[in-house]
């Protein structure tokens, strides 16, 4: 094994030290082996290749049902778990994220209706309200754990968007965690847990729809989705899959943007001061730069249906491809001085942090508005914020790495400290 093999192995297994050093490993991959074979998968880490994979009409999203990676996983499982895996994955195959071709177009079109500009504007008002409330909670503590804020805000936003009552928020948190663990699950217990979540979610959506049928006060999302069902463009299971997909795709990603984003801003006090000087104007580009620099979703995957060539290497049909967004987002061929956080970077918006092409993030407007409101408000309220001393322990796996805790000193509210 080469030292690069060891670094990749440690990162992919989610070891804390390797997660802390993830950007170094992605850099090595980009420079030393931009098309890298790792067991049953091929990893792409250069911007050009990642973008080409995203836009290729020959990449399917069925990688959780078939292809080299899933086949290897299936072979390792006992017979009974294989059946659970098949059922679980056939439900998840109805996610927009995992659909291809005509099914993808149809499901995406319906799911898209959840994000009309009017609905986003309504949600923005709610998100500002939640942010102010969470800021007030931060003010009550000496050294708050900022990850708590980073987790609460997207949880409130996603449950509002899904039209779920407050009492169900913790359920959503539990569901999200389990749905995501399943991303690379190879053990029967995790698969069973995830299967149970899906069953619970299906039931939840079914009763939400039932409840909505009996009343005129339909929540926005449920009525939008029900209209599609009534026009026979979606089945009830497909509706449940859209719910599950929003929870799996929209919660922990946004949590990372806010949590790791704040960490990086405080690690770069010059950039934090710059933002604090004019939060209203600078927050939108700062969020783009953080989507690039942090890459809240570090990687994604796909399955070539024909042999595809990347950077002179052929990846055969059926071999699962991992695309490293975090590698692409720091590619010096596209971003000058890529290791530098620069909230005024002119081409920050060229990042691939929200994907690219036909599967470009459906929740991008919600993710962006959450980021802008969070960082704008934090910069207005806490210009003296600093990281508390002590090491940061990373966790939660290679796809969604983030600190387990993020103790901060928020300092007194007030004017922006002078640049020195």
In angstroms, what is the minimal distance from the CB of 330 to ligand HEM? 15
**Beta-bridge partner residues of 259:** none
Residues near ligand HEM (CB under 6 A) are 96-97, 108, 111, 158, 161, 245-246, 249-250, 253-254, 257, 296-297, 300, 325, 353-355, 359, 361-363, 366-367
**How far apart, in whole angstroms, are the C-alpha atoms of residue 261 and residue 2?**
32
In angstroms, what is the minimal distance from the CB of 158 to ligand HEM? 6
Looking at the Cβ atoms of 314 and 360, the one nearer to ligand HEM is 360
Nearest residue to 244 (alpha-carbon basis) of 154, 180, 156: 180
In angstroms, what is the minimal distance from the CB of 98 to ligand HEM? 8
Give me the residue whose beta carbon is nearest to ligand HEM: 363
In angstroms, what is the minimal distance from the CB of 248 to ligand HEM? 9
**How far apart, in whole angstroms, are the C-alpha atoms of residue 239 and residue 245?**
10
Looking at the Cβ atoms of 249 and 348, the one nearer to ligand HEM is 249
**How far apart, in whole angstroms, are the C-alpha atoms of residue 248 and residue 15?**
22
List, as one string, the DSSP characters of 340-353: S--TT-TTGGG--T
Work out the number of other CB atoms within 10 angstroms of the CB of residue 28. Answer: 18
Looking at the Cβ atoms of 178 and 368, the one nearer to ligand HEM is 368
Looking at the Cβ atoms of 81 and 398, the one nearer to ligand HEM is 398
In angstroms, what is the minimal distance from the CB of 61 to ligand HEM? 7
Looking at the Cβ atoms of 108 and 171, the one nearer to ligand HEM is 108
Token pair for residue 136? Answer: 């007030």
Looking at the Cβ atoms of 26 and 81, the one nearer to ligand HEM is 26
Nearest residue to 398 (alpha-carbon basis) of 2, 4, 23, 1: 23
In angstroms, what is the minimal distance from the CB of 3 to ligand HEM? 29
- Assess contact for 320 and 304: CB atoms under 8 A: no
The β-bridge relationship of strands 408-409 and 35-38 is: unpaired
């Amino acid at each position: 094994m080469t030292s690069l093999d060891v670094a990749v192995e440690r990162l992919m297994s989610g070891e804390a030290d390797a997660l802390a050093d993830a950007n170094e490993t992605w850099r090595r991959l980009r420079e030393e082996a931009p098309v890298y074979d790792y067991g049953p998968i091929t990893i792409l880490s250069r911007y050009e290749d990642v973008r080409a994979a995203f836009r290729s009409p020959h990449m399917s999203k069925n990688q959780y049902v078939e292809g080299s990676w899933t086949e290897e996983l299936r072979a390792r499982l006992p017979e009974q778990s294989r059946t659970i895996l098949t059922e679980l994955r056939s439900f998840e195959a109805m996610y927009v994220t995992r659909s291809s071709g005509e099914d993808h177009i149809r499901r995406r079109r319906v799911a898209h209706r959840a994000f009309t500009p009017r609905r986003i504007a309504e949600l923005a008002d709610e998100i500002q309200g939640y942010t102010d409330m969470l800021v007030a909670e931060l003010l009550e503590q000496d050294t708050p754990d900022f990850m708590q804020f980073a987790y609460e805000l997207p949880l409130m936003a996603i449950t509002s968007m899904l039209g779920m009552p407050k009492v169900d928020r913790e359920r959503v948190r539990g569901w999200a965690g389990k749905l995501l663990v399943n991303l690379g699950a190879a053990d029967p217990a995790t698969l069973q847990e995830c299967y149970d979540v899906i069953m619970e979610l299906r039931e939840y959506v079914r009763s939400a729809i039932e409840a909505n049928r009996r009343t005129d006060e339909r929540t926005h999302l449920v009525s939008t989705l029900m209209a599609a069902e009534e026009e026979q463009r979606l089945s009830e299971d497909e509706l449940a899959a859209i719910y599950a997909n929003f929870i799996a795709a929209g919660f922990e990603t946004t949590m990372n943007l806010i949590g790791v984003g704040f960490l990086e801003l405080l690690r770069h006090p010059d950039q934090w001061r710059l933002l604090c000087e004019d939060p209203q104007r600078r927050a939108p580009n700062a969020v783009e730069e953080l989507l690039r620099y942090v890459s809240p979703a570090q990687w994604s995957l796909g399955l070539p249906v024909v042999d595809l060539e990347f950077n002179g290497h052929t990846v055969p049909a059926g071999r699962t491809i991992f695309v490293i967004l975090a590698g692409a987002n720091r590619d010096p061929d596209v971003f000058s001085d890529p290791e530098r956080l620069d909230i005024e970077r002119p081409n920050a918006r060229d990042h691939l942090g929200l994907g690219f092409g036909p599967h470009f993030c459906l929740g991008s407007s919600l993710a962006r508005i959450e980021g802008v409101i969070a960082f704008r408000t934090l910069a207005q309220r806490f210009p003296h914020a600093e990281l508390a001393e002590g090491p940061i322990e990373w966790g939660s796996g290679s796809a969604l790495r983030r600190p387990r805790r993020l103790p901060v000193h928020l300092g007194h509210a007030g004017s922006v400290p002078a640049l020195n």
